[in-house]
Amino acid sequence: MTNNFNLADYSTWTALVTPFDELGAIDFDSLTNLVRQQAKAGNGILLLGSTGEGLAIAPEDQLTIVDFVCKLQPGVPLMVAVGGADLPAQLNWIKHCNRLDIHAYLLGTPFYAKPGVAGQTHWFKNLLDAAAHPCMIYNVPSRSGVNIPEQTVANLAEHKNLWAMKEASGDIHQFLAYRQVAPNLAMYSGEDALMPYLAAAGAVGLVSVCSNVWPQETNLYVKKSVAGDNQSLFPVWYNATNALFSAANPIPVKVLMHLRDMIASPMLRAPLTHLELTEHQGIVDADKSVCNWYAAQRKQAALADIS
C-alpha cells in the first residue's frame, strides 16, 4: 500500500458516479477529473456502488476501473463496493481487489434473495473473512429488498474486519437500534438529506451522492452536521438533496454534472437513462442554492478570521 489512511479521518465518502461516453464506454478522462476533484476536497472515494452503476458494469471492466483509479494515486482512501447475490463470485471479486492499492470495502446485502438473520450472517462473515481491508456493511432495503436485522449486526459486531455501517433505511429508529447492539461500530448515513438528523444520533459521517457534484460543499455540510452546527443547513440542503433524488439515482446527479461540464455525457447504463429526467429546473435551482450557501459560509469564515 502506498498510503496508510486512518479511515476515521474521512467523514465524507463520495459514492462516485461512473462516467460513460455517448456510446456507453467508460470515460476515463472524465473519471480522472472526478477523482482529482474528490481528492482536492479531501473526500474518501467509493467505487462501483449503486451510484457508480456497479451492477451494470461487466466484471472485467469493474476491475479495470478500480485498477485505473488506484494508479492515479489520489491521496485519499479508496473503498470498493461488493454486491450481488452470488457469494462465490463476490469472494472472487474480493480476492482480485485484495491485490490492488485500495483501503476498504462496502459490503451490501444480497439483492433479491431476501435472506434472514442466518443467511445474512453467513454472507457477511464469508466476505469479512476474505477481505484484506476494513469493511463497511450496507443496509439499503429499498434496493436489496430486505432490512438487516439488529441480530445480524450483533452477530458480526466483533469481527476484526468490520469497521463501519452505512445506514440507508431512512428510519432513525433503525439507526438507533444498530447503535445499541453495536456501540463500537462507526455509523455513517447513507442518505444525504438525513445527515444532520443522524449526526445528532451518533453518525460520524456520510456516504454521499451529492458530493459528486458538490465535493467541497458537501464536505463542509458533513463537518457542520457532525459538529452540531446545523443552523445554516436548513432548508438549503434538505431541498437540494431532495432535488438530486427526483428520479432514480444516479440520473439527476449525472444530468447536473453534465450541465456543469463535470462529465462529458449524462449517459447511464440500461435500464437507467437520463431521458427519465425531463425537467431540469429543480436540479439547476438546487445547484445555485448550494453554491450560494457555500460562498456565504466561506465569507463568514473569512470575516471571523480577520476579526
- pLDDT score of 66 more than 60: yes
Alpha carbon 215 to chain centroid distance? Answer: 12
List 40, 95, 114, 166, catalytic entry = 166
pLDDT beyond 60 at 262? yes
What lies within 8 Å, CB to CB, of 23 at 6+ separation is none
Q: pLDDT for 73-125, tens place per residue?
A: 999 999 999 988 999 999 999 999 999 999 999 999 998 899 999 999 999 99
1 falls in which pLDDT band (50, 70, 90)?
A: very low
Q: Please give the pLDDT value at position 307.
A: 67
Contacts of 5 (CB under 8 A, 6+ apart): 76, 77, 103
CB-based contact 179:202 (threshold 8 Å): yes
138 catalytic per annotation: yes
Domain-embedded: residue 271: no
108 belongs to a structural domain:
yes
- Report pLDDT for 3: 64
Q: Tell me what the pLDDT averaged over the chain comes to.
A: 96
User: How many whole angstroms separate alpha carbon 26 and alpha carbon 70?
Assistant: 16
Mean pLDDT of 256-284: 97
Tell me, yes or no, whether 278 lies in a domain. Answer: no
Q: Check residue 73 and give left, alpha or beta (phi > 0: left; psi -120 to 50: alpha).
A: left
Residue 236 located in a structural domain: no
244 within domain boundaries? no
What integer is the mean pLDDT of 231-253?
96
The predicted model scores a pTM of 0.96
**Residue 276 located in a structural domain:** no
- Candidates 138, 178, 188, 294; catalytic one: 138
Number of domains within the chain: 1
Q: Residue 161's domain spans which residues?
A: 8-226
Alpha-carbon dihedral sign for residues 176, 177, 179, 185: negative
Q: Which tens digits make up the pLDDT trace of 182-220?
A: 999 999 999 999 999 999 999 999 999 999 999 999 999
Please report the pLDDT score of residue 143 as a whole number: 86
In a domain, 307, yes or no: no
In 40-160 the beta strands, taken as DSSP E runs, fall at 44-47, 78-82, 104-108, 135-139
Encode pLDDT of 18-55 as tens digits: 999 999 999 999 999 999 999 999 999 999 999 999 99
In a domain, 75, yes or no: yes
CATH number, residue 194: 3.20.20.70
